[in-house]
Amino acid sequence: MRASTLTDVGEITVEERDRPDPADDEVLVQVGACSVCMTDYHMYHGTFAAETPLVLGHEGAGTVAEVGADVDRFAVGDRVAINPTVPCNACSYCKKGDTHLCENNTSIGGAGDTILDGAFAEYVRVPAINVEDIGEMSFDRAALAEPLACCVHGVEQADIKPGDSVGIIGAGPIGLLLLQTFRNAGAAPIVVSELDDERRELAADLGADVVIDPDEEDPEKAIPEAAGGPVDVGAEAIGLVPTITQANAVTAPGGSTLIFGVPDQAATMEVSPFDIFFDEVDYRGSFSLTTEDFERAITLLRHERIDAETLITERIGLDDLPAAFERMGNAEGLKKVVVPGDSE
């Protein structure tokens, strides 16, 4: 099979590999689509550590091509989405249901203490408990189940209630998914700050009540003005210290600042302990997803509560990843989806 393999920082080689055999409790998935994430971008550039060689890609969907001896829940030909978070189910966090905080964190193609080969390949091995049936849903749409599940988890972390106000800094692919997830949870109003004209327009189309251009207005003033005061949740969907600071600045006393964008591992920021104490503002991180989050994401996609197709602006082959990462660095387009069958 062909696989797009990270061989070193900034180096990807498309190589021929033996088709893997599933273990007794695994399925082998023929990859129909795998969307590209900023985590992949960070791992490619070395800002997330990863041992090489490694096949990246953790937002996948495809067809079951082979099942292990102990698998009876799935059959060859089933269409599935892949949950890349593999919990140990033995540590204290897993036993509490916090599988995303597993002490033995394993990921299929994504960030983790242990990283297994992912879905930027024609086939990928997956534990049977980590796939969900998608019926006739398109693979492109199902490939957004993982990032959507992360958004579901983020909204839960923010403890949102219907009618709570939200400010979102950044309307890239994940910010636009987060916007739709907050809207499904009943948040109102939702104010989005975004530099790019097309992304602001799309944010308005996808449910933002107000969009602002941070080049024209100071978000720290414009978001509270548009929302009728500081917001209950200030969400940062970029991963930069200045924009995290902005999100916190617009968060109301008693509210939550959600750090949802992926920061550089070496990044630091100053916070005022007194302000946190006096204003009772929570800083909430949101990393990864739980099994339940993934199931909820599949349900939202199945019942058309999320516009996923609008966010997909490119379908690329296995050979095209380095160029796609370059375009991501320039904020060109939105979600890029690798379709292994489209490779040369």
Which amino acids are annotated catalytic?
A: 39, 42
Q: Which two tokens mark 75? A: 């059959």
Q: Which two tokens mark 292? A: 């339940």
**DSSP string computed for 128-150:** GGGEEE-TT--HHHHTTHHHHHH
Nearest C-alpha neighbor of 336 from the set 126, 208, 172: 172
Contact call for residues 108 and 146 (beta carbons, < 8 A):
no
Environment class of 85 (CB within 10 Å of its CB; exposed 0-12, middle 13-18, buried 19+): buried
Specify the amino acid at residue 163. G
- The conformational region for residue 285 under phi > 0 = left, psi -120 to 50 = alpha, else beta, is beta
CA terminus-to-terminus distance, the chain? 13
Nearest C-alpha neighbor of 118 from the set 287, 17, 4, 10: 4
Q: What CA–CA distance (Å, rounded) separates 289 from 286?
A: 8
Contact call for residues 179 and 190 (beta carbons, < 8 A):
yes
Q: What CA–CA distance (Å, rounded) separates 255 from 252?
A: 5
Q: What CA–CA distance (Å, rounded) separates 331 from 344?
A: 26
